[in-house]
């Protein structure tokens, strides 16, 4: 009996150690592409098929490094996106060498532009890097964009002072999905939750916000999509939740 208990204990310890090693060295690598069709009658017909690539929570300098960033840029450009949006948390600390990050981000190509909003862990270092790239800061502002016709869609970057004064199809970019309740919009692209970093096979995270345990929420006439991010925070592991980006295609019907 005692021998069986010892063997069982050893097995449990080995499983725990293997899970930790997997979560740090394997779970944090790779890149999953989540593709979605977003259908809404308010989308102008001229925007049918518009492609948006969305990434978030890079935390460059943790488990996400230069090699990972170069792979990310290559994959984004393979999709030939119309819009690219980053929803916050760029670097892990102020010691990051910014030149390589700036050079890589400037290789991202998007027909209608690259945009970003700040995350809760972003600082002056993040702003300095992004301001030297082709990414346009949408914090506290909005931008009307046109595609193949005369009717625009409205892009909003969350902020306390920004208002949605238009009746156009509106996409809200925000780091925190909770902000979706504070502005009128049709589509919300957010980050922050990182899927809890650890997810169960039933697609539920165990550490995240109870209100946002999945990457898609439907609220009345509003759809919320959440990017689970690329890097890690102070806990450098991911389990059943590899780094990922989202690709959306807009359609009128």
DSSP for 98-161, written as a single string:
HHHHHHHHTT---SSEEEE---TT--HHHHHHHTTSSEEE-TTEEEEE-SSSS--EEEEE--TT
Q: Where are the domains of the chain?
A: 2-251
Cα-Cα-Cα-Cα dihedral sign, residues 144, 146, 150, 154: negative
Q: What is the pLDDT of residues 145-202, one digit of tens each?
A: 999 999 999 999 998 778 777 889 999 999 999 999 888 899 999 999 998 888 777 6
Q: What residues contact 40, with CB distance under 8 A and at least 6 apart? A: 169, 186, 187, 223, 250, 251, 252
State the pLDDT at residue 203.
Answer: 60
Q: How far apart are CA 59 and CA 57, in angstroms?
A: 6
**pTM of the shown model:** 0.92
pLDDT score for 190: 97
pLDDT interval class at 23 (50, 70, 90): confident
Task: Report which of residues 24 and 75 the model is more confident about.
Answer: 75
Which residues fall within 8 angstroms of residue 163, CB to CB, at 6 or more apart?
A: 183
Query: Domain 2-251 carries which CATH code?
Result: 3.60.21
pLDDT digits (tens, 9 = 90+) for 124-135: 899 999 999 999
């Amino acid at each position: 009996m005692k021998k069986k208990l010892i063997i069982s204990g050893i097995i449990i310890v080995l499983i725990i150690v293997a899970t930790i090693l997997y979560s740090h060295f394997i779970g944090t690598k790779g890149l999953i592409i989540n593709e979605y069709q977003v259908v809404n009658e308010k989308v102008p017909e001229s925007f049918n098929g518009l492609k948006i690539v969305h990434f978030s929570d890079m935390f460059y300098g943790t488990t996400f490094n230069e090699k990972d960033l170069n792979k990310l840029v290559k994959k984004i450009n393979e999709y030939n996106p119309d819009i690219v949006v980053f929803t916050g948390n760029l670097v892990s600390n102020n010691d990051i060498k910014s030149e390589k990050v700036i050079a890589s981000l400037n290789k991202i190509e998007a027909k209608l532009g690259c945009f970003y909003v700040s995350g809760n862990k972003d600082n002056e270092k993040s702003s300095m890097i992004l301001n030297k790239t082709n990414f346009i800061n949408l914090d506290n502002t909005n931008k009307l964009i046109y595609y193949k016709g005369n009717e625009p869609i409205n892009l909003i970057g969350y902020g306390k002072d920004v208002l949605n004064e238009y009746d156009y199809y509106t996409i809200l970019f925000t780091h925190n999905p909770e902000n979706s309740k504070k502005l009128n919009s049709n589509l919300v692209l957010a980050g922050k939750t990182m899927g809890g970093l650890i997810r169960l096979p039933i697609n539920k995270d165990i550490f995240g916000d109870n209100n946002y345990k999945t990457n898609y929420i439907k609220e009345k006439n509003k759809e919320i999509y959440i990017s689970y991010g690329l890097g890690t925070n102070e806990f450098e592991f991911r389990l059943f939740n590899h780094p990922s980006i989202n690709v959306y295609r807009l359609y009128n019907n």
